[in-house]
Structure 1
């Protein structure tokens, strides 16, 4: 994800006028018709469009991502983190008395473990179906049972593929938590233990 403020050389507090001036100044030298680089020009244009749109700018400022510029996996990870943030906000425990970041990591890890277990179960079922297919004698004209069983194998393969994608999305969300820590108020925890 590019940082539109950095690309345009403006502060996060810059108003629309300052953003337009910065864009016009930089685009003159970056335009491919004047010997500039097409990629740089594209980044300038995308940055200007993002910061010139108040809704997109607000979303970017709040999340660090723009739906139109962000990678699809990042956006899917953000959706998962959004649910976890909502859970953290609704948690009735006193801030500082628990570590919500560790809790988020645990929940994500649990989801990955459950998805992997589900994949193993589906692979076991698919192997059993294949074993049945190999043992069933076929009628010469139609193979109704064989087609039904093959269809089930394909359905299971699709479900496995979806579960793999879900794991990748959860891992993306987990990676977004890298570098975060949470300060717990130790004095209160000690008092509560005594």
Structure 2
């Protein structure tokens, strides 16, 4: 996730201070990805250093307000027009955990799969419930939330399918009597 570009995009709408940016980000993404306020201010400092935002006079309460520069607006336009790169996939902790479990003696990879499947099913059920509740009471502002929920549902479904595949491959390739793991 590009916090940098997300903050720039929100500043394109109007100048804001850090807490407003954090709140807007979480509101617009259905709070699916919590954003630490410290990360917001660290990112804003870097954006200012790079000439993409500038500080304006403090608002009521003394907060520092940030606005986007022309160069920052150009970065937002480039971000929105470019596809998300998939050439360098992010680390997948579950895949790493399972890979290591399969290569270490005494670790029950089957138990890891079963525990993760149960957790993933619970997440899928929760996202599906929120999606259903949101869809039955639609507001124009909920479109972003619905899209985020759809993405999270598809990710959970894909993880469950992948876990099923892992279990099937383990059963197929494991030595006799050791299909559940080590």
Q: TM-score range by the shorter chain?
A: 0.3 to 0.5
Structure with higher helix content: 1
**Normalised by the size of structure 2, how large is the TM-score?**
0.36
> If the length of structure 1 is used for normalisation, what is the TM-score?
0.34
